[in-house]
Structure 1
Amino acid sequence: MTTSLRAFLRYLAVAGRCQAGLDGAVPAYAHWQLADMPRYLSTEQVDRLIAACDGDVGGRRRDRAIVLLLVRLGLRAGDVAQLRLADIEWQTGSLRVCGKSRYEVRLPLPQDVGDAIAAYLECRPSTRRNDLLFLRTIAPCRPFRRGDGISSVVKRIMKRADIVAPVKGAHALRHTAATEMLRHGVPLDKIGLVLRHRGIDTTAHYAKADVALLKQVAQPWPEAL
């Protein structure tokens, strides 16, 4: 708003509607880096989100695998869209992920995530054109080309689960995964490895302290004598 106001005042000055330099009177807005709280789901909301994927039809099995990949491993929507069948290393129980800048890592495949993927593969439509893991449910069942499709799937699941959150989509689950790891005592550097962050500051933005938990241990403010 302040940026727009300054631009408007500069326009008025050029048009001769006000004196020049008036835009300098608009005060600066203090905004510190990493000051915002991450937008994540509570544990109860995550349980409801996963429960909304219950069912044996192919679409529900696919949705469950997608949600678990996002909320357990903190993958980006684009990472999920680009996952290939060859990226699942069943023997070692790991998942090969190639994210931004072609940065490739191997992440451990949790049991429930592996079970969900295996259940989806049992009813996954067959296609000869590529080996991308997740396909759309509407014929001709093409794969997701970008992360936008994965985010749309998550939004529909959140609506089905009647979850009201400040932000909807796959990125909210990435924040949730980071916050859950921090809540269970995982150090920030280890969380950064899972999320594939280059710097600890980025990880700190994703995984911040659980405010509800801090309220339980906060000491009352001493009264004035």
Structure 2
Amino acid sequence: MAAPKRDSARGRETSRPPRPESRLLARFADHLTYRRGRSAHTVRAYLSDVESLFAFLDADPDGDLDEVVTRRALRAWLADVSRRSARTTVARRVSSVRTFTSWLAESEVIATDPGASLAAPAAHRTLPGVLRAGEAAEALSAAALGAEQQDPLALRDHLIVELLYATGIRVGELCGLDVDDVDRDRRVIRVLGKGDRERVVPFGVPAERALSAWVENGRPALANPRSGGALLLGARGGRLDQRQARTVVHRVLDAVPGAPDLGPHGLRHSAATHLLEGGADLRVVQELLGHASLATTQLYTHVSVDRLRAVHDRAHPRA
């Protein structure tokens, strides 16, 4: 039986992806899993993209690849993919194939890396919708009102939206939290993010109240031997699934008149935007969100024109 692997997106152990029939692709999967530290989900995506390349080439991955995986063949494949797929899909597949051809050359399966010069059209990066501060407050109030009857699932749902908005963590990071990851006295959570990077994120008093209500009155009603150390549980006591968390967020926001239809990522973006509009430093927001690059935070967040003008008027000598 294959050894379990720690999945950085959830912070817990999961089974590794199914082993490909091809010996070469199985080695590539091992490289991604053990050398690159990729999650099972990411490995499956890489393998799917590489398998689609070999299907286009009508070639056997375990054959002689020097005459098959050439720059000309890759360009023909890219042209075909570009005609049939969205820009974001093309960019992802090119990234997968470039990783694969680089590994082939590094492993001396082929003499040179033909994917090094392979370039995809830049994907359009669009900002997700964002709640206004009043809409966020209304959504959280509605979730708190639903939790007043002390129903375990309502207490859990209140905590889901409070923590997502209070911390800006990813939904996978939320579902991966264990009880021991929460320091209620200091009001911080320990989060294992992308690339197994660990960070500590604070949360406020409203989230602490929702957390206390869940831990003391909600979680014990659902916990069973399947629960382990998971902080958030499903109705049957297992660790909360990301799809369930998304459903909760959509349902809560659907009750707010005029609010955009957002999922957990929208709450994350709203939290970052409201932090910036409240005066938080961009690098602080980068640390809270767990971005490896400040450029990602700059694309991910936006500051209102009114605030930019106000800061300019206050700070610039020639304003």
2:248 corresponds to: 153
- Are the counterparts in 2 of residues 38 and 205 from structure 1 also a CA contact under 8 Å? no
1:189 is aligned with what amino acid?
Answer: R
Instruction: Measure, in 2, the Cα distance between the counterparts of 1:50 and 1:212.
Output: 26
Kindly state the Cα deviation for residue 31 of structure 1 after the two structures are TM-superposed. 7.6
- How has the CA–CA distance of structure 1 residues 217 and 110 changed in structure 2, closer, same or farther, with 3 Å as cutoff? closer
Higher relative contact order (CA 8 A, sep 6+): 1
1:47 corresponds to: 137
- How has the CA–CA distance of structure 1 residues 201 and 159 changed in structure 2, closer, same or farther, with 3 Å as cutoff? same
2:251 maps to 1:175: no
- How has the CA–CA distance of structure 1 residues 201 and 61 changed in structure 2, closer, same or farther, with 3 Å as cutoff? same
1:159 is aligned with what amino acid?
Answer: D
1:143 is aligned with what amino acid?
Answer: R
1:206 corresponds to: 300
Q: Which has the higher helix share?
A: 2
Q: Following superposition of structure 1 onto structure 2, how do residues 23-38 of structure 1 map, counting pairs within 5 Å? A: 36-38=126-128
- Partner of 2:200: helix, strand, or coil? strand
2:233 corresponds to: 135
Larger mean CA deviation between 114-123 and 176-185 belongs to: 114-123
Instruction: Measure, in 2, the Cα distance between the counterparts of 1:170 and 1:82.
Output: 14
Kindly state the Cα deviation for residue 43 of structure 1 after the two structures are TM-superposed. 0.8
1:18 corresponds to: none
- How has the CA–CA distance of structure 1 residues 93 and 44 changed in structure 2, closer, same or farther, with 3 Å as cutoff? closer
2:22 corresponds to: none
- Are the counterparts in 1 of residues 152 and 218 from structure 2 also a CA contact under 8 Å? yes
The unaligned stretches of length 5 or more in structure 2 are 1-78, 85-120, 314-319
- Partner of 1:149: helix, strand, or coil? helix
2:168 maps to 1:74: yes
Kindly state the Cα deviation for residue 212 of structure 1 after the two structures are TM-superposed. 5.9
Instruction: Measure, in 1, the Cα distance between the counterparts of 2:155 and 2:306.
Output: 33
Kindly state the Cα deviation for residue 95 of structure 1 after the two structures are TM-superposed. 0.9
- How has the CA–CA distance of structure 1 residues 185 and 38 changed in structure 2, closer, same or farther, with 3 Å as cutoff? farther
In the superposition, the TM-score normalised over structure 1's length comes to 0.74
1:126 corresponds to: 223
- How has the CA–CA distance of structure 1 residues 164 and 185 changed in structure 2, closer, same or farther, with 3 Å as cutoff? closer
Q: Deviations over 1:128-149 (max 9, x none)?
A: 2211111123xx233224x232
1:133 is aligned with what amino acid?
Answer: L
RMSD: 2.8
Q: Following TM superposition, where does structure 1 have runs of at least 4 consecutive aligned residues deviating by more than 4 angstroms?
A: 30-34, 211-219
Instruction: Measure, in 1, the Cα distance between the counterparts of 2:218 and 2:123.
Output: 49
Instruction: Measure, in 2, the Cα distance between the counterparts of 1:31 and 1:100.
Output: 23
Larger mean CA deviation between 203-212 and 110-119 belongs to: 203-212
- Partner of 1:52: helix, strand, or coil? helix
Identity, in percent, stands at 25
Instruction: Measure, in 2, the Cα distance between the counterparts of 1:75 and 1:107.
Output: 8
